[in-house]
Structure 1
Amino acid sequence: MNHAEFLEAVAKRAELPPAEAANVIRATLKTLTERISGGEARDLAAQLPEEFRGHLHKEVDFAERLDLAEFLNEVRARAGVDAPRAADGARAVLTTVRDAVSAEESDDLESELPKQIRQLLHPVGRGVGA
């Protein structure tokens, strides 16, 4: 998946204009990077479009503990959007990430996330986390 396809997928899934989708992508990837190990951030960056790799840069290897509310609040603040748009946008970004990377990388990412945040990787209609 290239940059334009990724951006279009997020914009469509979150029902956001492209400029706002780009802000939400940046905010979500930066927040996600804080929540995963440095090795996982590097592995994920290697499979995403080059334009997004800088958002996945991490100086330290440890993962910060964030629950779902804290995760979405960080995305909201970084993207400059309201809470519902942050939630829809984060879900759209993480679902698109899941679709853009290999199944193995998707599983690795999911294994590093708490259950609440893992739910963002799956479309609403799939009943994940019930």
Structure 2
Amino acid sequence: MDYDTFVDQVARRTRTGPERAVALAHATLATLADRLTGGDVLDLATQLPAPLRLALRPGPGNEAAERFGAAEFVARVAGRGDLTEPAAREAVRAVLATVREAVSGGEFDDLVTRLPRDYRDLVEPALTPGGTMSRRA
């Protein structure tokens, strides 16, 4: 998937404009980079459009994943994206659904298996290709 298509899909799912969709994608991907090991981040980044790879850049010494649950994930996205937590939850769902469409199925499945069960509410919409959001963000 190319960058413009990725942004358009996030914008459609979040019912926002392209600029806001980019901000939501970066907030979600940067938080995902915090949660994954450096190797997992690099595996994912290689399959995403180049402009999105910057959000997934692991910092020095970030080989180990930070351990935090879904509520903390949403709170971090809310902070990075200047969102309420309910809006951040919907943005995460939209971005993850778009990531699933952008990467090979195996890569997304590997990513999901590395997350604890409490992430299920965030990733289930992404498990259905073309999944859309159930509520307004």
TM-score norm. by structure 2 comes to 0.85
C-alpha displacement of 1:118: 4.0
Q: Report the Cα offset of residue 83 of structure 1.
A: 1.8
2:73 matches 1:105: no
The alpha-carbon deviation at position 124 of structure 1 amounts to: 8.1
Q: Equivalent residue for 1:49?
A: 49
Counterpart of 2:53 in 1: which secondary structure? helix
> 1:115 pairs with 107, 117, 132, which one?
117
- Which protein has the bigger helix share? 1
Structure 1: 5+ residue stretches without partners? none
Q: Measure the CA separation in 1 of the matches of 2:117 and 2:85.
A: 20
Q: What amino acid maps onto 1:20 in structure 2?
A: R
Superposed CA RMSD: 1.7
State the alpha-carbon separation in 2 of the partners of residues 35 and 125 from structure 1. Answer: 19
Which of 58, 73, 76 is matched with 2:75 structurally? 73
Q: Distance in 1 between matches of 2:9 and 2:98?
A: 7
Equivalent position amino acid for 2:88 in 1 = A
Instruction: Decide whether the 8 Å contact of 1:10 with 1:93 is kept in 2.
Output: yes
1:124/1:36 Cα in 2 relative to 1: closer, same or farther (>3 Å)?
A: closer
- Structure 2: gaps spanning 5 or more residues: 129-137
Q: Where does 1:17-56 land on structure 2 (aligned, <5 Å)?
A: 17-56=17-56
Q: How many residues align?
A: 126
Question: What is residue 9 of structure 2 aligned with on the other side?
Answer: 9
Look up the equivalent residue of 1:52 and give its one-letter code.
L
Letter in 1 for 2:18: P
Match of 2:132 in 1: none
Kindly provide the CA deviation profile for residues 10-57 of structure 1, in whole angstroms up to 9, marking residues without a partner as x.
111121222211111110000000101111100000000000001111
Task: Decide whether the 8 Å contact of 1:14 with 1:85 is kept in 2.
Answer: no
Hey, what's the Cα distance between the residues in 2 that align with 1:2 and 1:65? Answer: 31
How high is the TM-score relative to the length of structure 1? Answer: 0.90
Identity within the alignment, %: 42
